[in-house]
A and B are shown apart, each in its own frame.
Chain A
């Protein structure tokens, strides 16, 4: 069964801190994604990666960076946390489409609810 694990369910940090959110998947998926989810808004893509050492900016990359040193692990870094980064963060993974994107539903972790004080 597909498993995406995020290191923390709840996290409280202070403004200006450097924050690391970790995500590990055990399905050997090439694609990994980081989203944030806020009330009244759809999931917004922060960064994604289609391979080890590879990263691409999503729709809202400002204030974030990522690291993909190993295929199974995709880390999200808040360089200097700010209160407007208080949110639910969701990690997802998928395989590349084989014959079409119907083969690549994204599998999500349970999320990290991050509060920046």
Chain B
């Protein structure tokens, strides 16, 4: 079966760095997405990786290793507004998105 694993919850301190991991087993691979979802709001697109390596977008970076079935989202200089759930999703061979359950990130002052 298809499976996406990510930690349920993480806590970090304002100003620090946090890495949210995602491992996957899917039928084929056509890219991996990260979304941010604040409580009670819509998920919003953060990043897309299809090739191995690191993609940087300001304070957020996303890394992919296809051979290991592994990705991480790196958040730097954490701000209180980064408190949210972070969803990992993999596009399979049929171009369907398979979603992880999300990681709730709690930022403490």
Contacts and interface: CB of A to CB of B under 8 A. Distances in A.
A4 B44 CA distance: 12
Interface string B6-44: 001000000000000000000000110100000011111
Interface string A70-110: 00000000000000000000100000010011100111111
A111 B95 contact: no
Interface string A46-86: 00000000000010000000000000000000000000000
- How many chain A residues sit at the interface, stated as a range, is 20 to 34
Nearest to B49: A102
Nearest to A105: B45
B95 A90 contact: no
Interface in A1-18: 4
Interface of A: 4, 40-45, 58, 90, 97, 100-102, 105-111
17 contacts: A40-B8, A40-B101, A41-B101, A42-B4, A42-B87, A42-B89, A42-B100, A44-B99, A45-B97, A58-B96, A100-B31, A102-B31, A105-B45, A105-B48, A106-B97, A108-B44, A110-B41
